Amino acid sequence: MEVTLIDGKKTSEAIKQEIAEEVAQIKEQGGKIPHLAAILVGNDGGSLTYVNNKVLACEKVGFKSTLIHLEDSVTEEELLAKVNELNNDADVDGFIVQLPLPKHISAEKVNEILLPEKDVDGFHPVNVGRMVLNLPAYLPATPNGILELLKRYDIETSGKHCVVIGRSNIVGSPMSIMMAKNAKPGNCTVTLCHSRTVNLPEITRTADIIIAAIGIPEFVTADMVKPGAVVIDVGTTRVVSLTKKSGFELKGDVKFDEVASKCSYITPVPGGVGPMTIASLLLNTLRAAKKEVYK
Ligand code: GUN
């Protein structure tokens, strides 16, 4: 079977182009320029790259962006004060606090005090609850980016068995809920697998769609995949590389080289899901500036 490579980079560029055109129109009409702020704590290499990419993407589509880089040693109180400052800054339409945070800071506390109407990551309990209940909400960027790929590649999901591997708050859990919704894409029968799942390969072999978000490089091997399955790889683990100039390379959760030839569709790493996460964040920020979710 011919496999189609799902090009997240190209798709995200198309979305960014659409956003840029809308921003140009807003500017022409003298409207409010969307403004995204990002808080980064510490110097984790992966997080630095992700946040820088988010800020660069803002510039590319004509948004205003503010990067707030805090020391690893910042106290929880100081970070919460910064979040409150952004809550009260009328020019900031939406903001994110890049995860993971240092161990001495509670991500739950941070997510609870940011204003739901500025929570463009969709992590606040109010946005999560509204998403579950089909009320207008900011949808989490990575799962929403995956839905956008399934939509733009016209991949049938209705009635299919979707196996999500990984139950994180950011990807696996919301993804499983979104794939089960009465929507397009959606209407899947969903199985959510995780580290305690017994006979995981047996379950994945029955999947029409596999969404791997477990954070273990090359976890999904060819023997776990049904011929013709759609495989979405959310993994982005940095591993040491002797051949790359940067000294590392990104590895997905799927053993691409042996799995790809069995699939109908597959996302590469890099260039699959990753760029779509940023495109989704920009879409949420645009919705925030237009007050589309919370009027
Ligand atoms: N860390 C990994 N993914 C994300 C994300 O989508 N948003 C934030 N804030 N942190 C992350």
Residue located nearest, by CA, to atom 9 of ligand 1: 98
**What's the pLDDT at 1?**
72
Residue 8 lies in a domain: no
Average pLDDT, the chain: 97
Residue type, 21: E
Tell me, yes or no, whether 269 and 195 share the same domain: yes
Residue located nearest, by CA, to atom 11 of ligand 1: 99
The CATH number assigned to the domain holding 242 equals: 3.40.50.720
Tell me, yes or no, whether 270 and 167 share the same domain: yes
Tell me, yes or no, whether 259 and 160 share the same domain: yes
Substitution site in 41, 44, 47, 50 for ligand 1 pocket (most atoms within 8 Å of beta carbon): 50
Q: What is the pLDDT along the chain (295 residues), one digit of tens a residue?
A: 799 999 999 999 999 999 999 999 999 999 999 999 999 999 998 999 999 999 999 999 999 999 999 999 999 999 999 999 999 999 999 999 999 999 999 999 999 999 999 999 999 999 999 999 999 999 999 999 999 999 999 999 999 999 999 999 999 999 999 999 999 999 999 999 999 999 999 999 999 999 999 999 999 999 999 999 999 999 999 999 999 998 999 999 999 999 999 999 999 999 999 999 999 999 999 999 999 999 8
Number of domains present in the structure of the chain = 2
Give percent above pLDDT 90 in the chain: 98
Tell me, yes or no, whether 177 and 213 share the same domain: yes
Could you tell me which residues come within 8 angstroms of residue 240 by beta carbon, excluding any fewer than 6 positions away? 247, 248
Query: Could you identify the atom of ligand 1 that is nearest to the CA of residue 277?
Result: 6
Query: Could you identify the atom of ligand 1 that is nearest to the CA of residue 99?
Result: 10
The CATH number assigned to the domain holding 48 equals: 3.40.50.10860
